[in-house]
Amino acid sequence: MRFEMNSAELIAGILWLALTAYAVLAGADFGGGVWDLFASGPRANEQRVAVAEAMGPVWEANHVWLIFMITGLFTAFPVTFGVLALALYVPLTIAMVGIVLRGASFAFRAHGADSVGPMSTWGVVFGVASIVTPFFLGTAAAAVASGSIHAPKGQLVSGFLDGWTTPLAIVIGLFALAICAYLAATYLMVENEHRPALLADFRRRAIAAAFVSGVLALLAVAISFFGDQRLLQTLTGRPPLFALALLNGPLALWAVWRSRPRLARVAVIGQVVLVLWAWAVGQGPYLVPPDLTITATAAPEATLTAMLVVITIGGLILIPSLWLLFRVFKARNPQART
């Protein structure tokens, strides 16, 4: 283990942190869309309101992590960005369509409803786009993690369907979707602690999502074990993180089962973080295995230094602002007053 880092690795680490934040925060917003679409039972409407209340103030800030990642990637690793954009053209374009429709439909409903009335068509668009987007982002991630994107010397040579259309990638896409729904359900448990009926609704949904994502995770491991082992090798390259994830999974389920919302939330977030970082650490010096390494595809040193300065200054403004946002809207039972 080395403890020194060059600036390219440092920036790659920061971008991966941004990816983690996007997965944990915006992932739950997509999951919220899933539960909006599948709202059912006598409290279907209350469920939708709870989703809208939870997402409303924060989803746009959560979305910016993605923009930060995209701009950071093309600034610090322009070659990799170009290769990824081309190789994953199809799934990423579909995900973009999903992102546009999801955001717009949510805003139309949230800010237009009192002059137009309920907009059920946009509600369906919101739900469907919330399903499509994480699925295709998941398949794209699978293509990277399984080392299917070949670009020797920075020129893409693999095809436009490689890596993300395999059975493994499809299972991982579904897993990404299930994890988003799982995250959202546990967040919604916490935010509705004071409403026992809704809490029970979201607990049932969290359990369902936990089982589905667990089964899909095992299925992905099995497919990788008996077929293309590259993904498994990446994830288990540095054992501790992946082993922790295997231990943490049941803990999360237990917390949901015993209706411990806060512990469940921490555990599910932990699960996402562990999987993402097991992947990051496992693919070692590569940004996009097997051809593009972090150091070799980085922008010139002057750019990286300037970017670190911008990130430091920006971060000093960003972190207190984010803290304020979550403090105002997500502090202990803010809804209790209504």
Partner 1 sequence: MGTSLGFHIVFAVLGVGLPLLMCVAEGLALWRRDEAWMLLAKRWSKAFGILFAVGAVSGTVLSFELGLLWPRFMAFSGGIFGLPFSAEGFAFFIEAIFLGLYLYGWDRLSPVKHWLTSIPIAFSGAASSVFVVMANAWMNTPAGFQLGPDGKLAQVDPLAAALNPSTATEDPHMLVSAYVVTGFLVAAVYAAGLLRGRNDIFHRRGLASGMAMGAIAIVLAGITGDSSARFIYEAQPAKFAAMEGIYRTQRGAPITLGGIPSDAQHRVLYGIEIPQALSFLATFDPNAEVRGLDTYPPADRPNPVLVHLSFDGMVGLGTFIGLMAAAFWLLAIRRRSVPTWRLVLLGLVAAGPASVVAMEAGWFVTEFGRQPWVVYGIMRTSEAATTAPALGLTFAVFIAIYAGLAFTTARLLLMLAAHTRDAAARNAAKKVDAFRDE
Q: Rounded distance, CA 335 to CA 192, Å?
A: 8
What is the secondary structure of 205-253 as a DSSP string?
A: HHHHHHHHHHHHHHHHHHHHHHS-THHHHHHTSSHHHHHHHHHHHHHHH
Which of 140, 44, 154, 155 is closest to 91 using CA atoms? 140
Q: Which CB, 13 or 56, lies closer to partner 1?
A: 56
Q: Which CB, 102 or 205, lies closer to partner 1?
A: 102
CB of residue 148 vs partner 1: minimum separation in angstroms? 17
Of 70-78, 213-221, 226-234, 240-248: span binding partner 1 (CB under 8 A): 70-78
Cβ atoms of 224 and 168 within 8 Å: the answer is yes
Q: Rounded distance, CA 210 to CA 232, Å?
A: 21
Q: Is 85 in the site for partner 1 (CB under 8 A)?
A: yes
Which of 133, 144, 149, 136 is closest to 16 using CA atoms? 144
Q: Which CB, 247 or 317, lies closer to partner 1?
A: 317
Cβ atoms of 201 and 177 within 8 Å: the answer is no
Q: Could you tell me where the beta strands, DSSP code E, fall in 13-86?
A: none
Cβ atoms within 10 A of the Cβ of 77, count?
Answer: 25
Q: Rounded distance, CA 104 to CA 97, Å?
A: 11
Q: Which CB, 111 or 262, lies closer to partner 1?
A: 111
Q: Which CB, 159 or 196, lies closer to partner 1?
A: 159
Q: Is 104 in the site for partner 1 (CB under 8 A)?
A: yes
Q: Which CB, 125 or 178, lies closer to partner 1?
A: 125
Binding mask of the shown chain, residues 14 to 33, with x at each position contacting partner 1 by CB under 8 A? --------------------
Of 1-9, 109-117, 180-188, 243-251: span binding partner 1 (CB under 8 A): 109-117
Stretch 43-62 residues interacting with partner 1 (CB under 8 A): 56-58, 60-61
> Which residue ranges make up the site for partner 1 (CB under 8 A)?
56-58, 60-61, 63-64, 66-68, 70-72, 74-79, 81-86, 89-90, 92-93, 96-97, 99-104, 106-108, 110-112, 115-116, 122, 154, 160, 299-300, 302-303, 306-307, 310-311, 313-315, 317-318, 321-322, 324-325, 328-329, 334
